[in-house]
Structure 1
Amino acid sequence: METKKQTKSKGVSAGLIILGCLALAAIFFFGVCGHPSHFDDKGHPLPGDVFGTLYQGGYVIPVVITLLLTVITLSIERLFALNRASGIEKNERFVLKVKRKIDEGDINEATKLCDEQKGSIANIVREGLVRYKDVEDIPNITNADKAELIQKEVDEATTLELPYLEKNLNIIAAISTLGTLFGLFGTVLGMIRAFSAMGHEGAPDSTALAVGISEALMNTALGIGTGALAIITYTYFSGRIQTMTNAVDEIGFAIGQSFVKRHGGLVK
């Protein structure tokens, strides 16, 4: 019996990514957006200057930028990881080829296809095929029970692979909410500043009023944009993982049915 290699969780640490994005956000906010070239002599942003206007958004802005950069970075990391996990060939084509070999009873050739395909799906299917060969020599149990052992092996291999496939997706899911919440928090702070300027006796402080409104709007826009991007990427990657697990379930069922069909349901 071949020993099963447990798949270890791989990928970039989310903590390191967040710290790196925080550093980049701080450099961008204070070094780029806060540069004097974006402001006039009175400290107001130049007309049409996006960076100066963004700087007026207040200190919540770098936090939201950190979340935005984290989503982008983790999405790129997951894209490469899932492409690597899918293997060389498209999943649909690989599934059809393996099922064809299984239906023909050519387990060795199906195993060879898995070795050539590589990736998480191929690893899982290969474990099921190895188990297919092993259970043929187990005495005193029905072939239907042997088919269940094969399916159990596929399920266990899937459980080992899933943490790698889903790595960092929980961070993206959390940011889909946090991005919007921090945006709203910055909006509230901006509105507080705006209403404070309007509450002065006499003529309102127009500069403070403009800064407060700008702070509110910039936080709203950036927070909603970050949350929306996180939702889109999370939905996309979750869908890809579900498609991959469905393909594994399909092949696992085919392996078990093929065993019962070729060996019958009696005690061997």
Structure 2
Amino acid sequence: MLPLALCSIIAVAIIIERFFFFKRIGKAAVAEEVLELVNYGCINDALTLTKKSSLPLAKVLAAGITHQLDAAKAMESAGITECSVMKRGLSVLDTIVTLSPLLGLLGTIIGMINSFQIMALVGTGQPHAVTGGVAEALIATATGITVAVIALIPYNYFVARVERETEVIEHYATRLEMALTTQSQE
């Protein structure tokens, strides 16, 4: 039960941290404003606006504006970095989802072994001694499955959110690249 308690504490900590992280990055209004500034030729103002924001999308756009000669590569590099920031902790959460039911089953097996040892010592004449051990053993399985289910739903949400944010970053990076190309031709 101790490893399951540790898994649940770690899972809750990651879930809370990622929830606030994704709540903070949910706005793409800065990107529209940056693109508008670039389209009007106010590239320095666009860069200043991206530097003020800590959003992953803004950081990718800032890389493109800063390195206009090879904006695509700069934004790709920044995008990879920002995607890894968005995925932080998700592999641990995935491991907890997979590991918790297995730890619960291990606890049940150990509990059943203890119940059979009690039965061997006391005999089958006292069923309460055996059934109490079996009930205690099954608590570990129930706890492991509960931890996994509670962590699985946020994990799937966060993975979907990373994919959605990645698509938004790609969309705006492509639009910025086109706007910078248009500006350099004019």
> TM-score scaled by structure 1?
0.60
Does the 8 Å CA contact 2:50/2:59 hold for their aligned counterparts?
A: yes
For the pair 1:151 / 2:72, whether they are aligned, the reply is yes
AA at the equivalent of 2:177:
G
AA at the equivalent of 1:95:
A
AA at the equivalent of 1:92:
A
For the pair 1:252 / 2:173, whether they are aligned, the reply is yes
Residue in structure 1 matched with residue 16 of structure 2 by the alignment: 76
Residue in structure 2 matched with residue 243 of structure 1 by the alignment: 164
Does the 8 Å CA contact 1:67/1:175 hold for their aligned counterparts?
A: yes
1:173 CA displacement = 1.1
- Report the count of equivalent residues: 186
AA at the equivalent of 1:78:
R
- Return the match for 1:180 from 74, 88, 101: 101
1:184 CA displacement = 1.0
1:1-268 equivalences under 5 Å are: 61-83=1-23, 86=25, 90-132=26-68, 135=69, 149-195=70-116, 203-264=124-185
Change (3 A) 1:207 1:157: same
Q: After superposition, what is the alpha-carbon deviation per residue over 1:113-162, rounded to whole angstroms, capped at 9, x for unaligned? A: 31333233212211111122xx2xxxxxxxxxxxxx21100011122333
Q: If each structure's helix is expressed as a fraction of its own residues, which one has the higher value? A: 2
CA distance in 1, matches of 2:142, 2:122: 31
1:83 CA displacement = 4.4
CA distance in 2, matches of 1:94, 1:123: 11
Secondary structure of 2:88's aligned partner? coil
CA distance in 2, matches of 1:245, 1:189: 44
CA distance in 1, matches of 2:87, 2:123: 58
1:198 CA displacement = 5.6
AA at the equivalent of 1:258:
A
Does the 8 Å CA contact 1:95/1:247 hold for their aligned counterparts?
A: no
Task: Structure 2: give runs of 5+ residues left out of the alignment.
Answer: none
Change (3 A) 1:122 1:185: same
Does the 8 Å CA contact 2:39/2:183 hold for their aligned counterparts?
A: no
Greater radius of gyration (CA) = 1
Change (3 A) 1:208 1:150: same
CA distance in 1, matches of 2:5, 2:184: 60
AA at the equivalent of 2:5:
I
CA distance in 2, matches of 1:77, 1:180: 23
> TM-score scaled by structure 2?
0.83
AA at the equivalent of 2:59:
N
AA at the equivalent of 2:15:
S
CA distance in 1, matches of 2:145, 2:125: 30
